[in-house]
Amino acid sequence: MSLLLIAKNRDMKPWKEALLEVDPNLDVEIWPRVENKERVTFAVSWNHPEKVLSNYPNLKVISSLGAGVDHVFNDSTLLDSVQITRVVIPSLKEQMAEYVLNAIQNYRFNTSKYVDQKREGFWSSHDAIPKSDSIVGVMGLGEMGKAVVDTLHDNRYSVVGWSRSEKQLHGIKTYSGKQLVDFLAQTNILVCLLPLTKETEGILDLELFKKLKKPAYLINVARGSHLIEEDLIYALDIRVLDGASLDVFEEEPLPSNHLFWNRPKIMITPHIASITDPKEAAKVIIENYKRSLSGMELLFEVKREIGY
């Protein structure tokens, strides 16, 4: 049996080296050079080309390279019998929590304004937004969301949370399901960490922004398809939002002629909020690979019916 690494436009050699460092006896192949497709039972993927995995008749499990799995569901040819898992490791959660905290601090202390002023050689001070007026609302309370909530709580921020199903988290008030409006009414700084599903696609729109407590700011570190880009531009123009920090986009890399580049109130980073470390992830991948061979329950398995 063999394990397949497959990703478009990504060097998978470091991943193979990391896996073999943990277990030198593994049979690891890197797409597209696969000697024996019949031997592949487990695939590790990031944005694999659609229909490619249908060429592996004995494929049992596909693991996302990271915490997101929407790219796996984009493949309509994937058989229902194939189990789907994701990689959730401490460093991913820590990176995400630190990124969100940094984005909030940059907003509160007007960092982007000072960067622009430095470039122009202009001296002027701006009042920081008090922490007491910065109520952070986290949408999505999975592994990443919980890590963000804990970090913000440890840094003495007031935090509320919303998720599809009811969650109980220490020290914060949580909302669920149809309580979204109540959650938004409490929120100044909105953090999107939702999984991308049919229900959450396009959820960040003008009507949602209007329901936020003012002044309002958006941080999207989930998926670009959560956001209606035109609505964000309009919300900034009519001052429904003070600004936004975006790490994910509908099209990546973000085209050079995209309107976001010319908007000083939009902070842009190139999908770097949380990057999977091959050496740390290798242990989780190998554990799931061996569990699959033994017919055991998999770690971080995705429920197809809800999409995460």
Rounded alpha-carbon distances, angstroms, from residue 41 to 81, 102, 165, 229, 246: 12, 41, 33, 40, 37
- Half-sphere exposure in the Cβ direction for 201 (13 Å, CA): 6
Q: Which residue has the tokens 């229902």?
A: 80
Tokens (6 digits) for 65: 């390279």
- Candidates 216, 208, 212; CA nearest to 129 is 216
Length of the chain: 308
CB 69 within 8 A of CB 90: no
Reading the block at residue 183, the tokens are 């959650």
In terms of Cβ atoms closer than 10 Å to its own Cβ (0-12, 13-18, 19+), residue 207 is exposed
Of 170, 167, 177, 105, whose CA–CA distance to 141 is shortest?
Answer: 167
Token pair belonging to 25: 């006896």
List the one residue out of 227, 236, 8, 243 whose CA is nearest residue 109: 243
Query: According to DSSP H, which parts of 62-197 are helical?
Result: 70-73, 90-108, 111-120, 143-154, 180-185
Single-letter residue type at 35? E
258 catalytic? Reply is no
- Cα–Cα distance measured from residue 250 to residue 175, given in angstroms and rounded to the nearest whole number: 27
For residue 216, how far is the Cα from the chain centroid?
21
> What is the residue type of 150?
D
- Considering 48, 71, 86, 223, which one is annotated as catalytic? 223
226 catalytic, yes or no? no
Instruction: Give the active site residue among 263, 271, 291, 304.
Output: 271
Q: What is the largest CA-CA distance in the chain?
A: 66
- The set of catalytic residues is 223, 271
